[in-house]
Amino acid sequence: MRAVSINEKLNGSEGLQLDEHLLKINEVKKLIGPLSGKLALYCSDSCIARYLRARNWNVKKATKMLKASLKWRLEYKPEEIRWEDVASEAETGKIYRANYKDKTGRPVLIMRPRCQNSKSVKDQIKYLVYSMENAIINLPSDEEQMVWLIDFHGFSVSNISVKVTRETAHVLQEHYPERLGVAILYDAPKIFEPFWTLVKPFLEPKTANKVKFVYSGDSNTRTIMDELFDTDHLEVSLGGKNVADFEISNYAEMMLEDDKKIPYFWKMEDASATSQLNLPINSLSDHVHSESNFDASDERTKPGHINGD
């Protein structure tokens, strides 16, 4: 598939001219300062553009957000998580990458709240991060976003927590801006509505607008699925024709093969490069949110918006 240049991705978007976009990208680069190793690879022009879009092309806000993500990546090391680190979280198929993509070629992460098998916030977030990183390495060269498909069959209020959802929103919006294309909530029951009302304030309006409710008995919302997916590939439980179900042994094999791609995805162009910043780590600390700590014992209750995606 033909790679798309940063110029093509930026041209005509957000009502700004291409040269204005590039100017803002270069401003962010100067404010971030010199990087090396994996962080330098991470901070491509396309990456910086995603952070700028998440902050409506405000250079100061985008830089603050990106600095926080760079520090998080340096400390959390999401690219170093491997299947064996999260396999126990994956056993029930509560989150898995589908073996098909949507009609535009975007990877699809299927989430099934009924299959929750863990009470550890830390472990659940680690598996989410692994799944996000896995979807990213499987993006086609001309695509930056993925699809979340949340299957609510068998859902009960015991399957989900505000804390995990809040952490999920934080990780998605603060460290993976503009990676979510659309989130489909499929057959969400009435008992989910109060939970959604509670969680929605934690989402930036831009993110909340990407959430679409689809009901199998509603032909109007079903058209969303028809527009996004080939029904021959889509699972029967989601209105498709594919009778295959999640099988952990097959999925483990797929993930182990994907893990082999990771070193090539992060391959250093300069063999002498290190995975450290040329600047002291403290230079990235100024704007890091306390929410970056994913310890399950951390009882955060502070309300308010989490800006981002």
Helices and strands per DSSP (H, E), number in the chain: 13, 5
User: Which residue, among 139, 217, 132, has the nearest Cα to 171 in the 3D structure?
Assistant: 132
pLDDT in tens, 222-255: 899 999 999 999 999 999 999 999 999 999 999 9
Asked if residues 239 and 231 have their Cβ atoms less than 8 Å apart, the reply is yes
**Rounded Cα–Cα distance for residues 307 and 204 (Å):** 5
Parse the chain into domains and list their residue ranges.
6-78+268-292, 81-259
**1-5, 166-170, 223-227: which range is least confident on average?**
1-5
Which of the 8 DSSP states describes residue 141? T
Q: What is the pLDDT of residue 275?
A: 34
Q: How many CB atoms lie within 10 A of CB 149?
A: 23
Give 280 or 214, the one with higher predicted confidence. Answer: 214
pLDDT in tens, 53-107: 999 999 999 999 999 999 999 999 999 999 999 999 999 999 999 999 999 999 9
Q: Which residues have C-beta within 8 Å of that of residue 108, sequence separation ≥ 6? A: 97, 98, 100, 101, 102, 146, 147, 148, 149, 229
Asked if residues 155 and 192 have their Cβ atoms less than 8 Å apart, the reply is yes
Q: What is the pLDDT of residue 13?
A: 53
Give 175 or 301, the one with higher predicted confidence. Answer: 175
User: Which residue, among 287, 297, 270, 267, has the nearest Cα to 69 in the 3D structure?
Assistant: 287
Which residue type sits at 61? K
Among 3.30.200.20, 3.20.20.70, 3.30.70.20, 3.40.525.10, name the CATH number for the domain at 81-259.
3.40.525.10
Packing angle of the helix pair 45-54, 18-32 (nearest 10 deg): 100
Token pair of 179 as six digits: 């990676």
User: Which residue, among 124, 114, 182, has the nearest Cα to 151 in the 3D structure?
Assistant: 114
Q: What is the pLDDT of residue 128?
A: 97
Half-sphere exposure of residue 284: CA atoms within 13 angstroms, side-chain side: 22
**Rounded Cα–Cα distance for residues 52 and 50 (Å):** 5
pLDDT at 212 over 70: yes
Q: How many CB atoms lie within 10 A of CB 79?
A: 20
Give 213 or 190, the one with higher predicted confidence. Answer: 213
Token pair of 80 as six digits: 């170093």
Question: What predicted TM-score, i.e. pTM, was given to this entire model?
Answer: 0.82
